[in-house]
Chains A and B, each alone.
Chain A
Amino acid sequence: MEDVFLEVERGGMFCIMGPNGAGKTTLLESILGLRPPDRGVVRLFGMEVRGRPPLDVLRRVGYLLEDMGLDPLLTVWENLKLVASINGVRSSHGELKTALEAVGALDYAKRLYGKLSAGQKRRVLIAAALLGEPELLILDEPDANLDPASRLEIMELVQGLRSKGVTVLFSTHSMDIATKFADKLAILNRRVLAMGTVEELIAKFGGRWKVVVRSRKPVSGWEQLGDRYMTYVRNPAEVAEVLKGVEAIEVAIYPPDLSDVFKKI
């Protein structure tokens, strides 16, 4: 990766997107010193970190990275105690309970980790990341391999952590998730291709509004989608203009999304 400069604001949700192999995981793991950069520096909480962060800095970071699991033959509670031991944070009954409550996993604290559903496991992993009450959460694709409902649940849960002052740096492949939850996002492909809020990126890269109608007659020049027809406009003010002459039974207007940005980039 080259020329990557990211600044994550305290209390925000910063998203990293990009195709497979773009360097999302590399970037997140570099921040934690798992893959030290050849050049450049990482500053965590304003402190320059080279390689593995010092323990006092690391305690302020919670992380959920690729291939990071828990022992399926230990209960959720036992696993969290182990993680707390490794992380060097307190593992009192109260602290574990707080972490599990924060992710809604207290009910299955005594169940074997291996017996949980994918969504439940992800909650527990996030609870593990929350041990020690970190100020920064680094989550590598927290929504990966989950069904749509669980994906939303997990991300809403992560978003809810902001109320506790937690800053979240996460990666995802889902444009929906990024659009819905990211305050700011960076699109990577070995380097930063674009960075800003979703709205900024859409505006910058010419996102268009989508107009979809159900019509009694075919609409010439529009893209046919089954019994519907679709076209794009630059802004909502143009909608009335394009609908002239269209015998529409039903009209739907969709704002531009990140897919347009990706296409353009």
Chain B
Amino acid sequence: MNVLGEFTIATIKSNLREKQALFWVFVFPLMMFIIFGVLLPRGEAGASVTVYIANSTTAEELAEHLKRYNITVKIVEGVDSPVEFLKKITARGEAAVFVSADENITVYSTSLYGPMVAGLIEKELVERMYSKWSGESMPWNFTFPVLYVNPKSGVLHNTTYRVTVYFTNSSQARVIDNQTQIIVLIPTWTPQVAEGINYVDLRAGVSKSSAITWLVRMQLIFGLYLILTVAYTIHGYHVVGFLKRLYLRPGTKQVFLMAVTLGGATLPLLAAVAVLILAYLAEYPVWVLANIGFLAAMISNMLFGAGVGLLLSAADVGLRGGHSPPLLPLPLILLLAFLCGYFMPAELLPEDVGQFIRPLPPYVTRAFAEAAVLFNTYNWPQFAAAFLTSATVFIGGLLLHPIIKKT
């Protein structure tokens, strides 16, 4: 066997014998899948959809209309500053659908959760309801089929999800937009939020777009995660013990790095495959992985993750010894993923944190990939900036790492 093969297999063997690595490589991704993708949506309780109607006549008319169908109408009034209120709503990950006087529908949200849900509502409004505004059968009570796995039995269930529509009579909403007649706010943070952030995704599973969002985020995390596993492997026993030998033998550093990368990447990739199989079985649209925007974001995340890992490793490993035990960059990257909106809407974070997070490449790439997959929208200039930053971090990490630096 050649040197590359021998090193790669040695790396895989070494990782397979490391309990901590096994956890991060196999258990952790499956755990994420289960927690974020399958187990959480259990209940059938409905989320509320609040409709602010600027024109009170319309509101009353609509409310009366809906009451005929036993739909609860909730009146909310006294919003002092509708613009600020809207900002808060959208910052919480909710979406606002504005139906203007000329019947144009506009979706507002600072979160990609919002557009996703709003998009569904928009679809419903346009295709099923709004066109029958004055009709007799306005179905404001949505019923969505939802597929989920019972966490106790592990059995797949088909159930329905019911959305109750509430109404308010907030005339101040018209301040937001003079042309606005109706604002439909779709809260994602319903009482069921305790069941998990992905609840919203699965609630909207009727169109699969939410599942796409989930999968995109999961896979982008894999981008970060996979390469950090590699960086961790590079940083581990191999380098610490073998660094001087590697330096003394010209050409081996590159082979070694490649082998460790291959070996380190093999395991999380296997884990990714396992997650994808589960995703396929749960009828998630695995095809989103072929989206060019998604792939570009994934590559950017891999570069960024590798760069961060290498920089951490470079700070800790030296030819002159005094190294500490292998550090684990994964917690750091998971924190980063959390802050950048991979697990929850980043808009929910305090503004100070948001200002710090928004320029970071993982934040941009997540938004870019989700917009690409969900809406077929590509903000390439923004992505290019994130990609260049990631590439710079990666190259910097590579050049500063003792394996290369000492050449």
A contact residues around B319 at 8 Å (CB): 34
- Is A34 within 8 A of B13, CB to CB? no
B249 touches which of A65, A69, A86, A112 (Cβ 8 Å): A86
CA distance A34 to B406 in the complex (A): 9
Known contacts being A68-B241, A69-B241, A73-B237, is A55 close to B249, with CB within 8 Å?
yes
The tally of CB-CB contacts under 8 A between chains A and B is 77
A interface with B by C-beta (< 8 Å): 29, 32-34, 52-53, 55, 58, 63, 65-74, 78, 81-83, 85-88, 112
Main SS class of interface, A: loop
How many Å from the CB of B194 to the closest CB on chain A?
41
In the complex, chain A residues whose CB is within 8 Å of the CB of B240: 67, 69
* Cβ of B152 under 8 Å from chain A: no
Q: Which of B2-10, B53-61, B133-141, B169-177 is the contact stretch?
A: B2-10
B residues within 8 A CB of A83? 242, 245
> CB-defined interface of B1-27 with A at 8 Å, one 1/0 digit per residue?
001001100100111011000000000
Structural contact, B247 and A82, CB atoms closer than 8 A? no
List the A residue with the shortest CB-CB distance to B6. A85
Chain B residues in the interface with A (C-beta under 8 A): 3, 6-7, 10, 13-15, 17-18, 237-238, 240-250, 252, 256, 319, 321-323
B13 & A86 in contact (Cβ 8 Å cutoff): no
Closest 7 CB pairs of A and B: A69-B241, A67-B321, A73-B17, A73-B14, A85-B3, A71-B237, A86-B245
Q: Which residues of B lie under 8 Å from residue A70 when comparing CB positions? A: 237, 241-242
A66–B321 CB distance below 8 A:
yes
Residues of chain B within 8 A (CB-CB) of A66 are: 321
Q: Please pick, from A33, A63, A67, A73, the residue contacting B13 in the complex, using a CB distance under 8 A.
A: A73
- Complex: chain A residue closest to B242, CB-CB: A86
Whether A52 contacts B238 in the complex (CB less than 8 A), given A34-B319, A73-B18, A74-B10, comes out as: no
Q: In the complex, are the beta carbons of A69 and B7 less than 8 A apart?
A: no
Instruction: Give Cα A258 to B226, complex, Å.
Output: 56
Does A58 contact B6, Cβ atoms closer than 8 Å?
A: no
CA distance A73 to B247 in the complex (A): 22
Distance of B213 from chain A, by nearest CB (Å): 38
Q: Are A82 and B248 in contact (CB under 8 A)?
A: no
Does the CB pair B250–A71 fall under 8 Å? no
> B245 to chain A: which residues have CB within 8 Å?
68, 83, 86-87
Q: How distant is A218 from chain B, measured CB to nearest CB, in Å?
A: 51
A-B residue pairs in contact (CB < 8 Å), sample of 30: A29-B244, A33-B248, A34-B248, A52-B248, A55-B249, A63-B248, A67-B240, A67-B244, A67-B322, A67-B323, A68-B244, A69-B240, A69-B241, A70-B241, A71-B14, A71-B237, A71-B238, A71-B241, A71-B242, A73-B14, A74-B13, A74-B17, A78-B10, A81-B6, A85-B6, A85-B252, A86-B242, A86-B245, A86-B246, A112-B17
A34 in contact with B3 (CB, 8 Å): no
A82 engages B10 (CB within 8 Å):
yes
Known: A68-B244, A69-B241, A70-B241. A86 touches B321 (CB 8 A): no
Closest to B407 in A: A52
B333 CB → nearest A CB, Å? 23
Flag if A55 contacts B250 (CB, 8 Å).
yes
Distance between Cα atoms of A82 and B8 in the complex (Å): 10
- A53 neighbours in B (Cβ, 8 Å): 248
Cα-based distance from A69 to B74 in the complex (angstroms):
70
Having A34-B247, A34-B248, A82-B10, one finds 7 other A-B pairs with CB under 8 Å, namely A67-B244, A67-B321, A73-B13, A74-B17, A82-B7, A86-B245, A86-B252
CB-nearest residue of chain B to A125: B241
B238 CB, min distance to chain A CBs, angstroms: 6
Are A34 and B244 closer than 8 Å at their CB atoms? yes
Q: Assess whether B246 is in contact with A69, with CB atoms less than 8 Å apart.
A: no
Q: How far is the CB of A137 from chain B (nearest CB, A)?
A: 15
Most buried by B among A63, A71, A74: A71
- Are the CB atoms of B249 and A58 closer together than 8 Å? yes
Task: Kindly state the separation between the CA atoms of A162 and B199 in the bound complex, as whole angstroms.
Answer: 72
A82 surroundings in chain B (CB, below 8 A) = 6-7, 10, 242
